Structures are given as C-alpha cells and as structure tokens.
Amino acid sequence: MEYNFDETSINEKHSAYSDFFPSKRSFDATDSVFAWVSVILGYIFCRAFPSALKPFYSLIFIILLYAATFVILIFKKAKIGKAALAVAASGIMVSLSLFLSGNPVIHIFAFGYGALAYCYFVYAAFENRLEGGISSLILIDFLKAAFVVPFKAMGGMLSAMFSKNNNKFGSVIGKILVGVLIAIIPTAIVFSLLSFDNGFLNILRKIFNFRFADIPLQVTSIILAFPVGSYIFRLFISSHDKSAKKSLTAADCKRASEGVSIAPVITVFAATMPLLFMYVVFFVSQWKYYISGFLGKLPQNVDYATYAREGFFQLLAVAAINLAVISAVQLFCKKGKKSGDLMIRLLTVIICVFTLILISTAISKLVLYINEYGLTPKRVHAFWGMMVLTLIFIAVILKQIVRNIKLIPIGFAISVIMFFALGVSGSDGMIAGYNIDRYIEGSLDKIVLADFDELGDAAIPQYIKLENELKSRVAAVPDDQKDAYMNTYDYALLMELKEKLHNIESTTDYDWYEITLPKILADSALDSRK
C-alpha cells in the first residue's frame, strides 16, 4: 500500500496550525532591558496619574517614554520613517502643555494625545502602517496601534525580563527583587515598633522625602506598574514582530468602503435637497437677526448672553449634522461617472458654504458678547472650536477642487496644531490680562473676580497688576475726597482683591510634581508684592 505525502500541503497545514498555536518567542538582551524599562515606566505612569493633578510628573513620564523607546529602536535598527517622527514630535510638543498651561482640562487632553501618539510612533517605526506616504487611513492606524497591536504579541514582559538569552542580568535582578520582597515584612514590623519617636520619623522623611501615609499608594503603583508596563512592552514587541499585520488591513478597509458605496447619485441628491431648502428658508427668514452681529448691534428683546449662546449651540448642531451628511455622501454614494462625481462635489461645496455662513455669524455674535462682558474660558474655547471647524470645512471645499488632497490627514493635522496652539498660548493668563486691561482703560465697566477662579495660577500676576493700578488710584485721590472714594466700585474691588491675594498667599505650597509655568510666574509675582 503506497502513501503519497504532499510536502506543500503539510507545510500549509503546519502554517495554519501555527497561527492558532504560535511557538514561544525568544528574547534578546535588548528586549530584556526594555522589559525592565517598561516596568519602571509603568510605575512612573501610575505615580503621574491623574495628569490634571500632577502635570509636571506626567510630562516627565512622556519624555522618558519617548526617549527610552527611541534608544531601544536605535539598538533594534528600526527604520524610523518621517510619519513616525512627525507624530512623535507632535506628541511631545502637545505634551509641553502639561508645563506651559495651568488648565487641568488641557492637561488631560495633552497627556492623552501624548500617550496615543506614542502608540502610533512605535507602531509606525517598525513599518506597520496600513499605507505609505500621507495616508487617509491614519486614524485607523492610530486605533489599531492603541487597541489591537498590544494584544497580538506572542511573548509577555515577564518572559523577556528573565530571558535565557540574558540570563545573568535577569538572574541578578530577580535575586535582588526576591531579597527586597523578603525584607518588606521585617522592615514593616520594625518601623511600626520605632514609629513612636518623632525624631526617627523626621529623619526618615528627610531621607526618603515622602509621606509615610503614601505607602499604600506606592504599593498600589508598584502592583499596577506590571500591567501598564506589559502594555508598553507588548506594543513594542508586537510592532517589531508585525504580529497584527493580518488584522484590519488596508484591503479590509477598502473592501468595507466599496461595500457601502451603493447609493446612486440621484438618491443622494433627493436625500439632501430638502435639507438645503430648509437652510435657505432659515437664512432668509432670520437674515436681519443674524446680520446684526456683523453690524455690532443687538436685536431687540434679546440679551447678549442669549444672543451669543443661541448662535454657538445652533452652530454645533448644524455643523455636526453637516459633517455627518458630507461623510455619508462621500461614503455611500456610488463613484465612477464623471458627471455624478462633479455633482457630488458641487453638493458638498454648497453644504460647506452654508456651514461657513453660520460659523461666521456665530463668531460675530460671540465677538459682540466679548466686547460687552469680556473674556471667559468658555468663550475662548467656543471661539477656538469655531476656528477649528472653519479650517476643516475650508479643507473640505479645497478637497472638492484639488482631488489629490488627503482630507483626513489634513483634518487631523489641523486639530493637533490648533490644540497645540491653545495649550502653549497661556490662554488663561490672556483671559485675565484682557479683562483687567480693559477695566483699567475704562472699556469694561466691572470685573467679577469670582469668574477668574477657574483660571487658577495664571490670573495671579494679573491680580497684582490690577492691585497696583487700584492702589495708585487711591493714592491720587485728594485727602478731602477719600471718604467719598471709599464708597466707589474701585475701592470695593481693591478690598476684595486684597482679601483674595491674602488667601492665595496662605495656600501657595505645592509639591514639585505640580509645577507649571503659570505657578512659577505666580510665585514670582507674589514675591514681588511682599
């Protein structure tokens, strides 16, 4: 009886089985070192979290994360392309907001983008991107790098830490860790027995420079350092091995896009014409109401707050709808015929123009509101958001004219650059300075100091500037008019300001990991006041 073995078939079956049951990965010395570095970075991350409370610590984490990985990439001889370097640079630049800004919300988003950009940096450094060049799939790459790649690694961090290929290093570190773990119990017992002595505690505090009440947090951070470090390490190893190359490929994205492009052009027009008609009627009916913002006049029976707020929320709703409509048109409409493509492009331009008209009127309303009542963080952020939308819709229009423009990368770049500008501009200090300068000049009737509380340390130098101005006004009042001056708004504001600054001076202590540029400038301004 003869048996014919097809070697090709056997190899194919073996390859299929290996996809389900991959062989154990071996690690070299560089992998082992990075595994230990990942644990340390995981610990620093846990100590830096949350970034809103520990911005400087968070910035240190981001810098160390990128620097350590860049060194390891050099040892691994990775071909770091322009895309990886550009995104890494943007991640570090945006993360500088953790020091340059005092705004907790900006800190959260800056730290989040810095971490997400790092995932893409490692992923792209090993040439895992779905497409080369300026890719329209960059957002898919970001999502894949952060949520798919780290979970596809064949080997774990602990295996790399004690790799046989780096047995001596891993063995020494392992023995040290075992010794430290054994020492914890007797050390804790001795500490509890000797802690009655205040002199002993004070010396330990000076040596270790941390509060013993923080020991539970330290232990928790050490424990959580391993899963966080494992994520960092697995992202690196999986990117190096291209373990997720078959998951969510460019071909998959293309097939999905082609699969939903089923709507005829005439159907798209039928679906969008009623919407455009409603916009035309709306603009015509409300023309005088909207145009008054450009003329600097408030419509009758409307207050400034309502006038500006209505414009902004209407803008958000319409912009969201229009972006969804444009996306749906581009995604679902059948492509191929030149006449149909031309009509779709014309339709897209019309929708964008309508949106830009509404944005311009909303901006004019907001400017009118600011001229009357000054700046607040909400008003600045609203203006910033409208400028981002303006640039994105202009980019959409340009895309319809110049077809080879990659809209998604451009939109992504606009968002990152605008956020970087917001983060490093010192907007909180600018808000306080704008309002106080206008009050000093006389173009703003009143200043509500309570509105400045959310500006934090950035407002303190401006407080002192206002205090000095009000003091000079008091000194300039003739003696026979001082009693009458004490009943003025200026004098009441000066008294309120002095009390606020006194309260600030009594609560200026902070830990090093909370340091920001606004805090440094605030301390300097308070020192000059003494």
Give the phi and the psi of residue 301 in degrees, each rounded to 5: 65, 25
Instruction: Specify whether 434 is located in the same domain as 376.
Output: no
Domain hosting residue 65, numbered range: 24-249
Residue 71 burial class via C-beta count within 10 angstroms: exposed 0-12, middle 13-18, buried 19 and up: middle
pTM of the model: 0.83
Calpha distance 4→130 (Å, rounded): 41
Q: How far is CA 482 from CA 488, 491, 495, in A?
A: 10, 10, 15
pLDDT value of position 13: 46
Calpha distance 264→270 (Å, rounded): 10
User: Coil, helix or strand for 263?
Assistant: strand
Q: How far is CA 302 from CA 308, 309, 315, 365, 383, in A?
A: 10, 11, 18, 12, 21
Instruction: Specify whether 375 is located in the same domain as 515.
Output: no
User: Coil, helix or strand for 186?
Assistant: helix
Domain annotation covers residue 491: yes
Domain annotation covers residue 348: yes
User: Coil, helix or strand for 375?
Assistant: coil
Instruction: Specify whether 365 is located in the same domain as 439.
Output: no
Domain annotation covers residue 412: no
Tokens found for residue 113: 């983008």
User: Coil, helix or strand for 333?
Assistant: strand
Instruction: Specify whether 293 is located in the same domain as 351.
Output: yes
Domain annotation covers residue 9: no
Tell which of 200, 224, 249 closes a domain.
249
Q: Residue-wise over 294-329: b if at least 16 C-beta within 10 A, else e? A: eeeebeeeeeeeebbbebbebbeebbeebbebbeeb
Tell which of 215, 249, 283 closes a domain.
249
Q: How far is CA 387 from CA 42, 367, 404, in A?
A: 37, 13, 24
Contact 136, 406 (CB under 8 A): yes
Instruction: Specify whether 227 is located in the same domain as 328.
Output: no
- Identity of the residue numbered 383: F
Tokens found for residue 11: 């190899």
Calpha distance 376→395 (Å, rounded): 29
Residue 222 burial class via C-beta count within 10 angstroms: exposed 0-12, middle 13-18, buried 19 and up: middle
Calpha distance 94→92 (Å, rounded): 6
Domain annotation covers residue 12: no
Mean pLDDT by 10 residues, the chain (530 residues): 47 42 69 90 92 92 95 91 94 95 93 96 94 88 94 81 62 61 68 62 58 72 91 94 88 82 81 82 68 60 60 71 84 74 87 86 80 86 89 93 89 95 91 92 85 86 91 87 85 89 78 86 84
Tokens found for residue 487: 């009943």
Calpha distance 73→191 (Å, rounded): 43
Instruction: Specify whether 111 is located in the same domain as 161.
Output: yes
- Angle made by CA atoms 316, 321, 326, in degrees to the nearest 5: 125
Tokens found for residue 91: 């991640």
- Sequence-distant (6+) residues with CB within 8 A of 415 are 388, 392
Tell which of 200, 228, 249 closes a domain.
249
Instruction: Specify whether 171 is located in the same domain as 308.
Output: no
Domain annotation covers residue 413: no
Q: How far is CA 323 from CA 267, 316, 356, in A?
A: 19, 10, 12
Instruction: Specify whether 351 is located in the same domain as 237.
Output: no
Instruction: Specify whether 101 is located in the same domain as 210.
Output: yes
Domain annotation covers residue 312: yes
Eight-state DSSP code of residue 50: S
Instruction: Specify whether 354 is located in the same domain as 442.
Output: no
Instruction: Specify whether 110 is located in the same domain as 219.
Output: yes
Q: Is the dihedral of CA 54, 56, 59, 64 positive or negative?
A: negative
Instruction: Specify whether 223 is located in the same domain as 336.
Output: no
Calpha distance 491→449 (Å, rounded): 14
CA distance from start to end of the chain: 104
Domain count, the chain: 3
Task: Note the residue count of the chain.
Answer: 530
Domain annotation covers residue 83: yes
Contact 375, 438 (CB under 8 A): no
Closest CA to 101 of 456, 376, 385: 456
Residue 208 burial class via C-beta count within 10 angstroms: exposed 0-12, middle 13-18, buried 19 and up: exposed
